[in-house]
Amino acid sequence: MFETIVISTDGSDSVQRAVDVSLDLADRFDATVHCLYVVDTSDIERSPAELRDEMETALVNRGQQVVADIEQATHQPVETAIQYGEPAQAITEYAVSVDADCIVMGTRGRHGKNRFLIGSVAEEVVRSAEQPVLTVRQLADDETGIFLWESGT
């Protein structure tokens, strides 16, 4: 069913459950795992000019650590990538480039007005990706649930 799975991560705690679920999914289907971290270039551009190089270095270092941690968390081979750009666009383009069967990503579970003011990378990927997108929300200890939305619906 799934031969190639793209895990999109920003390294935050809210994404860890999605990483765990995606590695389990990949293990069950013996799928190739691609772990993607996107350096959000708009974050760099919005920072003061004298700090941009330091910020870029810090974001790239963070990305390298995040994908290395995921690679070490599984016995399966993981192909890692760090991309630059707008996260949702970079994720969908990467998924196409590796012929992914599924994109797995975490959500922060924002609700109400905050969701509309801040925006959501996951929501944008769900709306624009050609592949099914599995979104996994970081839950409280007493909650359970995984949500699957197929793009184009």
Domain parsing of the chain, residue ranges? 4-150
The pLDDT value recorded for residue 107 is 83
Contact 131, 151 (CB under 8 A): yes
The pLDDT value recorded for residue 153 is 47
Mean pLDDT of 95-110: 88
Q: Which of 28, 24, 19 is nearest to 1 (CA)?
A: 28
Q: What is the 3-state secondary structure (H, E, C) of 65-116?
A: HHHHHHHHCCCCCEEEEEEEECHHHHHHHHHHHCCCCEEEEEECCCCHHHHH
Q: What is the pLDDT of residues 19-77, one digit of tens each?
A: 999 999 999 999 999 999 999 999 899 999 999 999 999 999 999 999 999 998 888 88
Q: What is the pLDDT of residues 2-26, one digit of tens each?
A: 999 999 999 887 788 889 999 999 9
Mean of all residue pLDDT scores within the chain: 85
Fold category of 4-150 in CATH: Rossmann fold (3.40.50)
